[in-house]
Structure 1
Amino acid sequence: MQPEVKARAVELVRAIGAWPSGERDAAMARVGALGLEPALVDQAGPLRPGGTEAALEVVDAQYGGILADAASVLVVCRQWVRRADGTVVAGGTTVDVRLSRAHPRWTVTALHPAAPGAPAAAPGEAARRVLAAGPAIELPPAAAADVRSGEVHTSVLEALLELARKHRLAVSVVRSGHPLKVFGTDRPSDHPRGRAVDVWRIDGHAVVDPATPRQLVESVMRAAAAAGSYNVGGPLLLSGGTAGQFFSDATHRDHVHMGFRT
């Protein structure tokens, strides 16, 4: 694990997505003060809605990929923006922050904010149930918008509902805000196709926390496989299952990944 990589991504997202009254347009100066390229602000998209001031909460910072000299950090956030008329609007997004190794600190090379798409006219039954699942299935803003869009496969939604019968699941990423390809490869990721979901916290325990019981993470990974996931990743390399069904690598030490074929 390289915590400095996540810290670098998070400080940039905070510098762009939160500002005191009247200082929205000072984002480039704030980014420059971090030793990063001010023009990154132009890539922030939904992280910079109009408003007189904004507060931002980082829900989770998850690896989208980590290599020796390059990384993707998915910064999942909620945001509250005060408009000129005084009303406060709640929102948020997920930003795929791309970084490269540099001295003395990693540097940010690009931002790819989530683009969930418009809500479907009539969400399916599984989507409605997931959206109504409340504390059993916690969805950050971009993930909730993905479900509302109708672009998430029913297999993913039904698996979440099945796992939520026994566990409280905090979702980090579903479809948008994730790299289009498996990081460092040319293989398409299941996420942008609406065929995968990542869970970063189970029953109040962060997957990345060394104090989280191994049995808890293992039980969810095996339950995901039983619910139809052909590709279950996490911090544990489990035995059993079909060939290649379980995997573990540096990218998946901080979440449980569930991928589906259809």
Structure 2
Amino acid sequence: MSSRWRRLATLLALTLIALTLWELLSWPGNDPGRGAVGEPTPEASASASPTASPTSTEPPTATAEAGPPTTALPPTTVWRPGPGEPQAEIKQTATAFIETAGTWIGAVGAAATLRSKGVGPDVAATATALEAPDAVSSTVRVIYPQYGGVTADRAAVMVLFEQQLQTAQGATTIRQMALDVRLTQVAGGSWQAEEIRPLTSLGSSVPLSEAAQAVLAEPRLELSAPARLDVSSGRMDDRLLRVLLGLAENWVLTVQVMHTGHIQTVYPTERVSNHAVGRAVDIRAVDRQPVIDPATSREMLIELAARAGELGATEVGAPFDLNGDRSGFFTDVVHQDHLHVGITPGKQPATR
């Protein structure tokens, strides 16, 4: 055989060897990123089995449901405390309870979801406000959890959140709610949600006053949906609404709650709150800067609080006290995350 043919034979043999090796390496079972054929990697197994508990800050993530084609809901987001939050673990426990109760598929509902996470039936039953007729899946996004009251071993947190619901036909709706979550401290110092208080109402709607119409139309008053519902009922006190309109001349106010979703008493007493009778409002941000954030101008908040008194507010709760032992302005741990503005008939406006 000539040297030319020997070279061609050698080249052909090498080519056959290379093709055989390529096929072997390309076989699915030999993929270094997989185990045996059809077997997920350890990382994939872990991600396929999410866990959550109602006292954890990690709620379960909704997955797609079998049935008619639908648009998947966005996953439930987990609320994280920002700068300046006092006793943040209390708020994290309250928001985790809402996040867990509001994350379900297959028409399971909030109460059954909580029971599946080990929550007692009596506690779980208080979460039915997060259920809705015809809804087969739900996710939530907490907007802000505001303190309603704190003692050494008990607390109330008013959680404002958005809930996205989906029907079996794929129709989605978004609603915004504020719920009063009660908590207690358990052995070891951790906190546990014990109930969601039932929603209350100011009563049937009445014709709107000029002040109510002006508040609803004022773009510098950013009302939560529960607060807008209260003003739309016509039953919020006009004196309070005029204070809000006066403040809106100088600042953009983000309103957390008025009546709906607010604790109805002055925690921990049984004394009726001005919120319960439509005479108080809680403001969580000024010019879109959170009241709780240490970076928010203290001078601006002081100026606003003083102006509220000038406009007729008889009580102004804030992260600071402008008049010491005198009535009017006040502060405590509950009012580090918002400005409370209220009116009590017969009392003098707050003054420095």
Q: Do both share a fold (TM > 0.5)?
A: yes
Instruction: Confirm whether residue 58 of structure 1 aligns to residue 142 of structure 2.
Output: yes
- The residue correspondences of 1:71-220 to structure 2 (distance < 5 A) are 71-104=155-188, 105-116=190-201, 120=205, 122-134=207-219, 136-220=220-304
The whole-number CA distance in structure 2 between the counterparts of 1:15 and 1:227 is 42
C-alpha displacement of 1:121 = 5.1
Deviates more, 1:100-109 or 1:112-121: 112-121
Q: Which of 1 and 2 has higher RCO (CA within 8 Å, sep 6+)? A: 1
Instruction: Confirm whether residue 47 of structure 1 aligns to residue 134 of structure 2.
Output: no
Could you tell me which residue of structure 2 aligns to residue 243 of structure 1?
A: 326
* Residues 78/250 of structure 1: CA separation in 2 closer, same or farther (3 Å cut): same
The whole-number CA distance in structure 2 between the counterparts of 1:26 and 1:246 is 40
Could you tell me which residue of structure 1 aligns to residue 311 of structure 2?
A: 227
C-alpha displacement of 1:190 = 0.6
- Look up the SS of the partner of 2:195 in the other structure: strand
C-alpha displacement of 1:125 = 1.9
Gap runs ≥5 in structure 2: 1-85, 346-352
Query: What is the percent sequence identity of the aligned residues?
Result: 34
- Look up the SS of the partner of 2:277 in the other structure: coil
**Aligned residue identity for 1:13:** I
* Residues 13/113 of structure 1: CA separation in 2 closer, same or farther (3 Å cut): farther
The whole-number CA distance in structure 2 between the counterparts of 1:102 and 1:63 is 19
C-alpha displacement of 1:167 = 0.8
C-alpha displacement of 1:41 = 3.0
Write 1 or 2 for the structure with the bigger share of strand: 1
* Residues 250/46 of structure 1: CA separation in 2 closer, same or farther (3 Å cut): same
- Look up the SS of the partner of 1:24 in the other structure: coil
* Residues 114/141 of structure 1: CA separation in 2 closer, same or farther (3 Å cut): farther
C-alpha displacement of 1:90 = 2.5
- The residue correspondences of 1:248-259 to structure 2 (distance < 5 A) are 248-259=331-342
**Greater C-alpha radius of gyration:** 2
Asked if the contact 1:78–1:140 (Cα under 8 Å) also holds between the matched residues in 2, the reply is no
Asked if the contact 1:12–1:31 (Cα under 8 Å) also holds between the matched residues in 2, the reply is no
Instruction: Confirm whether residue 2 of structure 1 aligns to residue 97 of structure 2.
Output: no
Structure-1-length-normalised TM-score: 0.90
* Residues 26/259 of structure 1: CA separation in 2 closer, same or farther (3 Å cut): closer
- Look up the SS of the partner of 2:179 in the other structure: strand
- Look up the SS of the partner of 2:335 in the other structure: helix
Asked if the contact 1:114–1:142 (Cα under 8 Å) also holds between the matched residues in 2, the reply is no
**Aligned residue identity for 2:95:** V
The whole-number CA distance in structure 2 between the counterparts of 1:17 and 1:26 is 6
Aligned length in residues? 258
Instruction: Confirm whether residue 260 of structure 1 aligns to residue 343 of structure 2.
Output: yes
Gap runs ≥5 in structure 1: none
C-alpha displacement of 1:62 = 0.4
Q: Cα RMSD over matched residues?
A: 2.1
**Aligned residue identity for 2:334:** T
Structure-2-length-normalised TM-score: 0.68
The whole-number CA distance in structure 1 between the counterparts of 2:329 and 2:115 is 40
Asked if the contact 1:32–1:38 (Cα under 8 Å) also holds between the matched residues in 2, the reply is no
* Residues 132/78 of structure 1: CA separation in 2 closer, same or farther (3 Å cut): farther
Superposed CA offset, 1:82-107 (max 9, x none) = 23333222212111111111134201
* Residues 96/125 of structure 1: CA separation in 2 closer, same or farther (3 Å cut): same
The whole-number CA distance in structure 2 between the counterparts of 1:181 and 1:121 is 24
Aligned to 2:99, which of 14, 29, 40? Answer: 14
Asked if the contact 1:234–1:256 (Cα under 8 Å) also holds between the matched residues in 2, the reply is yes
* Residues 246/31 of structure 1: CA separation in 2 closer, same or farther (3 Å cut): farther
C-alpha displacement of 1:131 = 1.6
**Aligned residue identity for 1:210:** P
Asked if the contact 1:114–1:176 (Cα under 8 Å) also holds between the matched residues in 2, the reply is yes
